[in-house]
Amino acid sequence: MLKNDTDVIVAIATAPGRGGVGVVRLSGMVDLNAFFVGLLARPALSPRCATFCSFLDDQGEVIDQGIALYFSNPHSFTGENVLELQGHGGMVVLDRLIARCVELGARLARPGEFSERAFLNDKMDLAQAEAIADLIDASSIQGARSAVRSMQGEFSVLICALVEKLIELRIHVEAAIDFPEEEIDFLVDERLLKNLQALVSDLRNVLSRAQQGSLLRDGMTVVLVGKPNVGKSSLLNALAGNEAAIVNPTAGTTRDVLRERILLDAMPLNVVDTAGLRETEDEVELEGVRRAWLEIEKADLVMLVADATETDEPDLRAIWPEYFERFPHVDQSVMVVLNKIDRSGHSPGLVEGRDRTFAISAKEKIGVAGLTQYLQRSVGFNGQCEGLFLARRRHLDALQKALELVLEGNRQLEIAGAGELLAEDLRQAQQQLAGITGQFTSDDLLGRIFSSFCIGK
Ligand code: GDP
Confidence class of residue 246 from pLDDT cuts 50, 70 and 90? very low
- Ligand 1 pocket check: which of 223, 225, 227, 234 to mutate, most ligand atoms within 8 Å of Cβ? 234
Cα-to-centroid distance, 292 and ligand 1 (Å): 19
**Residues above pLDDT 90, as percent of the chain:** 44
Q: Which residues line ligand 1 (CB under 6 A)?
A: 226, 228-234, 247-249, 254, 276, 339-340, 342-343, 361-364
pLDDT at 5 over 80: no
pLDDT computed for residue 38 by the predictor: 95
Q: What is the pLDDT of residues 390-409, one digit of tens each?
A: 788 899 999 999 999 999 99
pLDDT computed for residue 1 by the predictor: 45
Highest mean pLDDT among 225-239, 334-348, 410-424: 334-348
- β-strand pairing of 357-359 with 349-350: antiparallel
Inter-residue contact 390 to 131 (CB < 8 Å):
yes
**Residues above pLDDT 70, as percent of the chain:** 88
Of the candidates 248, 244, 205, 252, which has an alpha carbon nearest to the alpha carbon of residue 227? 252
Lowest mean pLDDT across 136-145, 196-205, 278-287, 425-434: 278-287
Q: What is the pLDDT of residues 175-222, one digit of tens each?
A: 777 776 665 566 667 888 889 999 999 999 999 888 888 888 888 888
Mean pLDDT of 294-305: 83
Lowest mean pLDDT across 128-132, 308-312, 372-376, 429-433: 308-312
- Ligand 1 pocket check: which of 363, 364, 366, 371 to mutate, most ligand atoms within 8 Å of Cβ? 363
Nearest-atom index, ligand 1, CA of 366: 23
Confidence class of residue 332 from pLDDT cuts 50, 70 and 90? low
Q: Which long-range contacts (CB under 8 A, 24 or more apart) does 137-140 make?
A: 138/217, 138/390, 139/261, 139/263, 139/268, 140/216, 140/263, 140/266, 140/268
More confident of the two residues 452 and 254: 452
pLDDT computed for residue 183 by the predictor: 59
Nearest-atom index, ligand 1, CA of 305: 3
Cα-to-centroid distance, 89 and ligand 1 (Å): 47
More confident of the two residues 276 and 160: 160
More confident of the two residues 255 and 238: 238
- Ligand 1 pocket check: which of 229, 237, 285 to mutate, most ligand atoms within 8 Å of Cβ? 229
CA nearest ligand 1 atom 19, residue: 231
0.75 cut: is pTM over it?
Answer: no
d(CA 121, CA 73): 10
